[in-house]
Amino acid sequence: MEASSVLQGVPVATAKKKSTAPRKPRADAERNRLHLTDVAKKAFAERGADVTLDEIAKRAGVGIGTLYRHFPTRDAMLQAVYRHEVEQLAGAADALLERMKPLDALRAWLRLFVDYLGTKKIILPVLNAATSDNSALFDYSATQIRAAAERLITRAIEHGDVHQDVRPMDLLYAVFGFSTSNDPADWMPRAYRLIDILIAGLASADGPEGTSKRGKGARGAA
C-alpha cells in the first residue's frame, strides 16, 4: 500500500506520531519471505553452491527486487534458511508437548532433529563456503536446540517417563554423532531406529512407560 493512500485524511501531526511506532511485517510480506526461504532450501539442496539468487527468484515466482528486499545478499539468504530450520525445530518442542505425552513428544522431536541434521548436511557446506564467520549463527542455533531439548527432557522427568539423571546434551550428542559419522543412503531410517532404542533405554521403570512395560513382561513370564 502506498504511503500517500495511508495518510489521506489524516492530520500531519497524527501521521508523524504513528510513524514512530514499530511496524510489524505485513502478513503477505511474511508469507513471501517464508516462501522464498523454502524455495531457497530446496534449490540449495538440488544445486548446492551453484544456485544463483536469480534462479531462486524465478523458482519462487517473484521478481529479483522482491527477493532483494527480503535478502539483500546471498549470505543473508543462506543464513535465513539455516535460521528458519533451527527455529522450526525449536518451536516444534512446545507444539508436540501440547498434544502428546512427554515421552512421545521427545521421540517425535528427536526424529525432527534427525530431519534437521539432514538439511544441515546440505546447507552447511554452502553456508561455510559463502560466509567466513558464522559463529554467531551457530551459537544461536545451539542455544535454541539445547533449550528445546531441555524443555522436553524436563517435562518427561516431571511426568516420570525417564530417569532423573538423563541429560539433554548426552541425548543430542548420541543422535548427532550417529547421524554425522554414518552416511549411507539409509542413514535417516537407521537414525530413527536408534531413537527408538534410546527412548526405550531412557524409560524409567517407576514411570508410566516403565511400569506398563515391566507389567507386561511380568505377566508374560508368569
Name the average pLDDT for the chain: 81
114, 155: one domain: yes
Q: How many domains does the chain have?
A: 2
Same structural domain for residues 122 and 157?
A: yes
Rounded to whole angstroms, how far apart are CA atoms 122 and 125? 7
Looking at the structure, tell me whether residues 149 and 112 fall in a common domain. yes
Give the model's confidence band at 74: pLDDT under 50 very low, under 70 low, under 90 confident, else very high. confident
65 shares its domain with 116: no
User: What are 213-219's contacts with CB under 8 Å, separation 24+?
Assistant: none
If asked whether residues 63 and 88 sit together in one domain, one would say: no
Question: pLDDT exceeding 90 applies to what percent of the chain?
Answer: 52
Residue 8: inside a domain: no
pLDDT at residue 206, as a whole number: 57
Residue 140 has pLDDT above 90, yes or no: yes
Residue 216 predicted with pLDDT over 60: no
- Tell me the residue type at 83: R
Whether residue 116 has pLDDT greater than 90: yes
Cα–Cα dist 136/125, whole Å: 17
pTM of the predicted model as reported, rounded to 2 decimal places = 0.75
Listed ranges 25-29, 64-68, 205-209; the one with the highest mean pLDDT: 64-68
Mark whether 38 and 111 lie in a shared domain.
no
Is the pLDDT assigned to residue 92 strictly greater than 50?
A: yes
In terms of phi and psi (left: phi > 0; alpha: psi -120 to 50; beta: otherwise), the region of 131 is beta
More confident residue, 133 or 143: 143
The whole domain housing 191 covers: 82-222
Residue 94 sits in the same domain as residue 194: yes
What is the predicted pLDDT for the residue at 185? 77
Please give the average per-residue pLDDT across 118-130, as a whole number: 84
* Measured CA angle at 83 (ends 79, 84), to 5 deg: 115
Is 3 part of any domain?
A: no
**Whether residue 108 sits in one domain with residue 153:** yes
- pLDDT over threshold 70, residue 56: yes
Q: Are residues 91 and 151 in the same domain?
A: yes
140 and 56 share one domain = no
Task: Residue 52: give its domain's CATH number.
Answer: 1.10.10.60
C-alpha–C-alpha distance, residues 86 and 41, integer Å:
13
- Record the cell numbers describing residue 79, joined without a space: 543464513
Instruction: Give the domain CATH number at 190.
Output: 1.10.357.10
